[in-house]
A and B are shown apart, each in its own frame.
Chain A
Amino acid sequence: MQQPAIQVRNLRKSFRKRNGFRKQSELWAIDDVSFSVAQGETYGLLGPNGSGKSSLIRVLSTLLIADSGYVEMLGFTLPEQADEVRRIIGRVSVDAAFYKKLSARENLLYTALLYGQNARQAERRVMEILEQLGMENAKFSTPLEEMSRGMQQKISIARALMINPPLLLLDEPTTGLDPKSRRDVQLFLEDLQRREGTTILLTTHDMAEAERLCARIGFLAHGKLVAEGTAAQLMQRAHTATLDDAFIKLTGEAIVEEELSADYAECAD
């Protein structure tokens, strides 16, 4: 039997938050979370802001060290084998983090060099990816700050894929995008998964996106994985007609940002 691409067991991560001069409180961003993702599978983590999605992605991206638990990615464990894990993952975060004054080409070439790649070969691959994402070549030399958020996010995806990673960690990649850009990204991810068999871990609070892209979905609320399965299984379990309703029923809360404690969201996300 093939080993899972991602194995997470009993993962816990808390943050200390200072309340006033001497008092400190502890917030559990990830509270005893276990799940696994098969190779070539697209797994979705659904939850509102502050549910621990981004913290989880940060742990898997080697940017956050968990308090306890077991994480294995394609046979490499974290945090012990962080160097090896960095070579097999690509990450897209909700904010397209780039040197905004530099052009797309300069940003991507910098990343290629940072990963020790041949710049010319990397540039060819980037051009292919950007073309598939519907981006014009002419925009390649434009500073990032002059581009729309949709364009920036496409370049962020190109950056993650440039190193051809077998594992892709997508942290709300379509949040804030216009409908066309959102559809372009979703189509691209579907195609990528079909063509290359890339394993994708996707966090989102868009139910339709999760239903469309993910073979299985996990519901996260207050750092806990409260339910997981296919969209149909989750709806069946909750006796609801939509994934939205299933989420509300199984987690006891809706994905409405305003309802969330800003403090908690700040720490956990």
Chain B
Amino acid sequence: MSETGEPREIRNFGPELDFVKPDNDVLIVKLFGTWKIGSQVPGFNRLTKELEKDSLIRKIRFDSSGLGRWDSILITFLLKIANYCEQKQIELTTEGLPEGVINLCKLASSVPERTAIRTSQIKLSLTTRVGIHVARIWGSIAETITFVGEIAIAFFRFLTGRARFRWSDLLLIIQESGAQALPIVSLISLLVGLILAFVGSIQLKMFGAQIYIANLVAIAMVRAMGAIMTGIIMAGRTGASFAARIGSMQVNEEIDALKTAGLPPMEFLVLPRIIALAVMMPLLTLYANLMGILGGMIVGVGGFDIGIREYLNATKGSLTLTTVGIGLFSSFIFGILVATAGCLRGMQCSRSASAVGEATTSAVVTSIVSIIIATAIITIGCNILGI
């Protein structure tokens, strides 16, 4: 970097300061050695002490004949001096500093510092903060309701054949959220079936009623667990991916591009996703039910000497079309909820990478909470209706 014509010995020392007073009101700051990031820079207070000692000093000059290599650390030091001098109204002469140093200092102070306070930095009182929070919650409820309304309008346009989206998109989403989810759905629901059978069998064995394992597993899986487990898998897998996908499109201004191109994002992005999940969730749930029953059968047949035919007959006997229907209806609702939550959070995403992360988290949380609430409502509803 910059070098002057002094002997090497002086310039290879670490950074050092010295002060000379040729006149009563003049202070010469001598700079020695290498001023580079990482070296032990002399404290700024050494200069201020020197100035406080002698309040007569009105001028500061520099002597850089002993200065060796330097980088930004020297510039920051000099800018601090300049700032201090401006406050104390001391005259500062840059003469005696290397040309490069002066130029960089000038460049750094050429654009005035922005002093306007950002809105996010203003301190607010407790009541204001509570008020803002409530207003925000209210806003987000209103936003959700608007979103649901827009989905309804888009769906109406779809039914009348006027919705604009690409069928290839829909098929791709169906493939991604349906067929490609089969392995994980198989694994989870098989294990849930196994667990239900094991837990139930311990109680049932006490009464010698092992055969009822089949009934327990079949009813629990088909009526509730199949749909709930599939819903939760879909929330983590597909809902999160919807939110991340739409969120990053928001970051890239792709959503704006769709809007200005006259393609409503509601129809183009949200509608196919909701349709895909509404269609695929019942199918996946049906499949999950079968896997769960298979899991129960493995325990029943393998561990409690129930014949396969016997087990299947008991299963068949315990299931009614209503039970299956309730499970499939729930899963249809869950599909819509998961897709809506994913798309809603994605559309609400602001423009940064961390916002995409928040959108994804929030999508999964919203999906799971709404699945559980929906299950409660459906169960209570069925109870009242007596089915």
Do A and B pair up? The answer is: no
Interface residues of B (CB under 8 A from A): none
